């Protein structure tokens, strides 16, 4: 079975902490994405990457950064966590550009206190 694995299911952090969310895919996919999911807002794209060491801003990149040092791993970084970053974070990957299917991880529920 193909898999997108997110390192933590639940995280609780304090305001101002630096937070790392890790995502690994085993499908040799070029494209990887970070979304946040909030009730009534659907999924909103934070950052994405089409290749190693490449990153592009999504719709809501403020307060976030990413790192893709290896093809299979895409990390989301909250430089200084704030309470409005409490959310469900979903990582996804896909193959070739086009009508590609997104494969999602199970999500990380982050609470910032």
When the beta carbons of 11 and 43 are compared against other proteins, the nearer one is: 43
Least distance (Å) from other proteins to the CB of residue 15? 26
Q: How many CB atoms lie within 10 A of CB 76?
A: 23
Q: What is the closest distance, in whole angstroms, from the C-beta atom of residue 107 to other proteins in the complex?
A: 6
* Contact positions vs other proteins (CB under 8 A): 4, 35, 40-45, 59, 90, 92, 97, 99, 101-102, 104-107
Q: Which is nearer to other proteins, 69 or 101 (CB)?
A: 101
Report the candidate in 102, 113, 64, 88 with the shortest Cα–Cα distance to residue 8. Answer: 88
Please, are residues 109 and 12 in contact by the beta-carbon 8 Å criterion? no
What's 96's DSSP letter? S
Q: Which two tokens stand for residue 52?
A: 């190693």
Shortest distance (Å) from residue 97 CB to other proteins: 7
């Amino acid at each position: 079975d193909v898999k997108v694995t997110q390192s933590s299911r639940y995280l609780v952090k304090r305001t101002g902490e630096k937070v790392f969310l890790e995502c690994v895919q085993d499908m040799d996919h070029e494209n990887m994405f970070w979304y946040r999911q909030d009730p009534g807002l659907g999924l909103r794209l934070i950052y994405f990457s089409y290749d190693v060491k490449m990153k592009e801003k999504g719709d809501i990149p403020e307060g976030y950064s990413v790192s893709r040092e290896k093809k299979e791993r895409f990390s989301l970084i909250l430089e200084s966590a704030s309470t409005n970053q409490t959310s469900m974070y979903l990582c996804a990957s896909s193959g070739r550009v086009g009508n590609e299917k997104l494969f999602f991880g199970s999500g990380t529920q982050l609470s910032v206190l």
